[in-house]
Amino acid sequence: MEEVFKLKRATYHLWTFTISKLVSSFGAQVYSFAISFYILQLTGSATSFAANLICSILPRTLVAPFAGYAADKYSRKMIVIVAQIATTIAIGGLLIVSLTAGLSLAAIYTTTVILSLTSLFSGVTFSSSITGLVDETRIQKAMSLNQMSISFAAIGSPAVGGLLYGTVPMPVFLIMYLVASIIAVILESTMNFNLFAKRKEIVEGEEKEPMLQSMKAGFNYAMKQPLLKILIVISLLINFLFGAFQVGYSFILIEKLKIGAQHFGFTEGAFAIGMLLLSIYFSARKELKYPFLVSKWSIVTLGVIMGSIALPLIINMSYVVTVGFYILLMFIFGASMIVTNTPLQVMMQKMIEDDYKGRVLSILETGAMALMPVGMVLFGYLYDVLPAQIILIVSSVLLIGVMLIMARPSVVRSAHPELAKVTPQLEIK
């Protein structure tokens, strides 16, 4: 009877979690869209716009290890709710400022820092809680629904923001985000974060492990598990090499090929639609039997697509064919991202013990956030001094090479020992 009740609660968690993420992500992205335009309109300065991005990235990079520690040592439900309440207060404060004194860069930057930190604590803690919220058989469904809600928000928020910006005042955007945040708080407060959790019980009077020692223990835990260590290294290398795509894609289409803003938007939309459709597919299908193997070839596909972005710079194409080519390419790219991320995320959820999840996931967060600006600066410089097609093709070859080496047959066999019985060639070292 108790098991039936827990499964019903898990179903409730699946949809509550999805709706909460959809509402909060939609509000956050509409706000981000509006505030970006507002800063550029207010100052006309790319530096001011970049400063807001730094206020978003830098705090996350510095504080991520502490968020992981908190997620492992304290009530995860409390952290998520407090983070969402802090988001609500920050947006409410900015709304009051905008209505009384008018928005200033100082107020916007301060709010961006607070929102960066609250989203960090909420994101790391929620990711650490998946196996506590749902049963093991529905982890893939939970990860897919989470990605689906983010994709819905990515598709819908620019459309809503574009329709409203210029026709309604900034306080309307803030009120939308405020309402979304309040709804998220209400939904999250009804969830049981320990329904399926296997965390070590805290004994009253037991001496607590010092914070830095606990963080070090989380790092050592990750490094002592060969497959988990490989997954982390692969994730970080992909994040770095994708800097070539993040910087180069817009540069090539807008500067080199002179693609119009509307048509460029179509290619971005195709990327989001690809992610959305594959998220829906993964949420409906059974869990993959060989997730690591699927992710391996999906990353190789991503490498091929990244190199293909340079094709119109090498082969002469008409404008219509070029736009159509990039729409198709970005659709496949978005779909491949989900085929890559979902299986790896499910593997990590199952491999990492509940008591270490926050700290291990925060290692990924810190590494990814630190490598992102490094990659963007490096590739930004390279695109100024080298032909774009060379950078993309070399980065593509490196990505494919890294994946084939890191996920060589012996590693695949260690991830899926049962595969060796089906395909003996995987025994090759």
Q: Indicate whether 398 belongs to any domain.
A: yes
pLDDT at 205 over 70: no
pLDDT of residue 250: 77
CATH number (domain holding residue 189): 1.20.1250.20
pLDDT of 207 reads 57
Task: Check: CB of residue 223 under 8 Å from CB of residue 229.
Answer: yes
Q: Classify residue 316 by burial, with Cβ atoms within 10 Å: 0-12, 13-18, 19+.
A: exposed
**260-312: pLDDT as tens digits:** 867 877 887 888 888 888 888 888 888 888 888 998 999 999 999 999 999 99
410 and 334 in a single domain? The answer is yes
- The answer to whether residues 172 and 221 belong to one domain is no
Q: Are 179 and 117 in the same domain?
A: yes
**Residue range 145-169, pLDDT digits in tens:** 887 887 777 777 766 776 777 677 8
Q: How far is CA 82 from the centre of its chain?
A: 21
The domain boundary, picked from 148, 167, 195, lies at: 195
- Cα distances from 411 to residues 27, 228, 230, 426, in angstroms, run 41, 11, 9, 9
Q: Which DSSP string corresponds to 186-250?
A: HHHHT--TTSS--PPPPPTTPPPPPHHHHHHHHHHHHHTSHHHHHHHHHHHHHHHHTHHHHHHHH
Joined tokens for residue 393: 């093709």
Does residue 261 contact residue 319 with C-beta atoms inside 8 Å?
no
Cα distances (Å, whole numbers) of residue 42 to 55, 56, 93, 294? 18, 19, 20, 47
> What's residue 382's pLDDT?
85
Q: Are 277 and 369 found together in one domain? A: yes
Q: Which residues pair with residue 344 across a beta bridge?
A: none
Residue 157 belongs to a domain: yes
List the beta bridge partners of residue 168: 165
Residue 201 lies in a domain: no
How many angstroms separate the CA atoms of 104 and 101, rounded? Answer: 9
User: In terms of domains, do 23 and 157 share one?
Assistant: yes
Looking at 165, 195, 225, the residue that finishes a domain is: 195
Summarised one tens digit per residue, pLDDT across range 311-353 is 998 998 899 999 999 999 999 998 998 898 888 888 888 888 8
Are both 31 and 179 inside the same structural domain? Answer: yes
**What is the C-alpha separation between 199 and 194, in angstroms, rounded?**
8
Q: Which two tokens stand for residue 303?
A: 């490498």
Model confidence at 96, in pLDDT bands (50, 70, 90)? very high
- Statement to judge: residues 100 and 181 lie in one domain: yes
Give yes or no: residues 159 and 270 share one domain.
Answer: no
Question: Which residues form the domain of 150?
Answer: 2-195
Categorize the per-residue pLDDT at 216 as very low, low, confident or very high, splitting at 50, 70 and 90: confident
Q: Tell me: do 222 and 351 sit in the same domain.
A: yes
Q: Please state, as a whole number, how many other Cβ atoms lie within 10 Å of the Cβ of residue 385.
A: 7
Does one domain contain both 225 and 365? yes
> In 3-state terms, what secondary structure has residue 165?
strand
Residue position matching structure tokens 């930004």: 380
pLDDT in the model for residue 427:
43
How far is CA 355 from its chain centroid? 22
Interior CA angle at 222 toward 411 and 367, to 5°?
A: 95
- Phi, psi of 165, rounded to the nearest 5 degrees: -65, 130
Residue 168: phi and psi, rounded to 5, are -125, 155
**Model pLDDT, residue 97:** 92
Q: How far is 312 from 325, CA to CA, in rounded Å?
A: 9
Are residues 52 and 92 both part of a single domain? yes
CB atoms within 10 A of CB 155: 18
pLDDT greater than 90 at residue 397? yes
Residue 86 class from Cβ within 10 Å (0-12 exposed, 13-18 middle, 19+ buried)? middle
Q: Which amino acid is at 281?
A: Y
Share of the chain above pLDDT 70, in %: 91
Residue at which a domain ends, from 195, 227, 248: 195
- DSSP 8-state secondary structure symbol assigned to residue 270: H
pLDDT: which is higher, 11 or 424: 11
pTM to 2 decimals? 0.79
Note the residue count of the chain.
429
Position 424 in a domain? no
Instruction: Report if residue 252 sits inside a domain.
Output: yes
Does residue 177 register a pLDDT over 90?
Answer: no
Instruction: Please check whether residue 205 lies inside any domain of the structure.
Output: no
Domain total of the chain: 2
